[in-house]
Amino acid sequence: MDDEQMYSEQPPSEAEDSSADGRAPGDDDDDEELDFLPRRASRSLSDASPTLQGLPSANGHDARGPPPPAPSVPLALSILNVEPLDEFIREVADWIAYHLKGRTDCVEVEAKIGVLKDRNTGDRIRMPTLVETILQPGTPDIIFESNMTSDQHRHFNLLLNELMVSPPPGGQTSSPIQYSHHYLLDSFYKSDAHPRDKVRVTTDEKTRQVVQCVRKVKLGDLNIYSPKRHADWRISVNLEIPEKVPTGPPIRTRRKNRMSYTHQHTQIDLTQVTQESDRTAHTELLHELEVEIIPSSLLLSYAAYRGDELVGQRERDGFDELIRVFVNNARILVRNSGSWS
pLDDT digits (tens, 9 = 90+) for 309-329: 899 988 999 999 999 999 999
pLDDT at 85: 86
Is residue 1 predicted with pLDDT exceeding 60? Answer: no
Cβ atoms within 10 A of the Cβ of 156, count?
A: 21
As a whole number, the mean pLDDT across the chain is: 84
Residue 53 maps to a domain: no
Residue 111 Cα to chain centre, angstroms: 5
Rounded CA gap, 32 and 287, in Å?
Answer: 18
The tally of CA atoms less than 13 A away on the side-chain side of residue 310 is: 2
Rounded CA gap, 335 and 322, in Å?
Answer: 20
Strand pairing category for 283-293 and 107-118:
antiparallel
Percent share of the chain, pLDDT over 90: 63
User: Is the dihedral angle over the CA atoms 307, 308, 310, 315 positive or is it negative?
Assistant: negative
pLDDT at 143: 97
Q: How far is CA 20 from CA 52, 109, 179, in A?
A: 41, 21, 5
User: Is the dihedral angle over the CA atoms 20, 164, 2, 258 positive or is it negative?
Assistant: positive
SS3 50: coil
Q: What is the mean pLDDT of residues 62-73?
A: 83
pLDDT at 60: 63
Residue 7 maps to a domain: no
pLDDT tens digits for range 98-153: 999 999 899 999 999 999 999 999 999 999 999 999 999 999 999 999 999 999 99
pLDDT at 13: 41
Rounded CA gap, 293 and 332, in Å?
Answer: 15
pLDDT at 23: 42
Residue 256 maps to a domain: yes
pLDDT at 176: 87
Name the β-bridge partners of 149: none
Percent share of the chain, pLDDT over 70: 78
Name the β-bridge partners of 82: none
339 band by pLDDT with thresholds 50, 70 and 90 = low
Nearest residue to 110 via CA among 272, 299, 313, 314: 299
Is residue 27 predicted with pLDDT exceeding 60? Answer: no
Q: What is the mean pLDDT of residues 252-263?
A: 96
Decide if 113 contacts 160 (C-beta within 8 A): no
pLDDT at 280: 60
Residue 30 maps to a domain: no
CATH number at residue 209: 3.20.100.10
Higher confidence at residue 183 or residue 28?
183
Cβ atoms within 10 A of the Cβ of 167, count?
A: 15
SS3 318: helix
Is residue 86 predicted with pLDDT exceeding 60? Answer: yes
Residue 6 maps to a domain: no
11 band by pLDDT with thresholds 50, 70 and 90 = very low
Rounded CA gap, 225 and 232, in Å?
Answer: 5
pTM of the model: 0.80
Q: What is the mean pLDDT of residues 68-86?
A: 88
Domain range holding 203?
87-166+180-336
Decide if 115 contacts 291 (C-beta within 8 A): no
pLDDT tens digits for range 289-307: 999 999 999 999 999 999 8
Residue 71 maps to a domain: no
Residue 47 maps to a domain: no
pLDDT at 47: 52
Residue 66 maps to a domain: no
Rounded CA gap, 320 and 265, in Å?
Answer: 13
Which of 76-80, 174-178, 313-317 is predicted least confidently? Answer: 174-178
Rounded CA gap, 227 and 131, in Å?
Answer: 6
SS3 151: helix
Q: How many domains does the chain have?
A: 1
Which of 2-16, 74-88, 228-242 is predicted least confidently? Answer: 2-16
Rounded CA gap, 292 and 259, in Å?
Answer: 13
pLDDT at 173: 57
Q: What is the mean pLDDT of residues 157-184?
A: 84
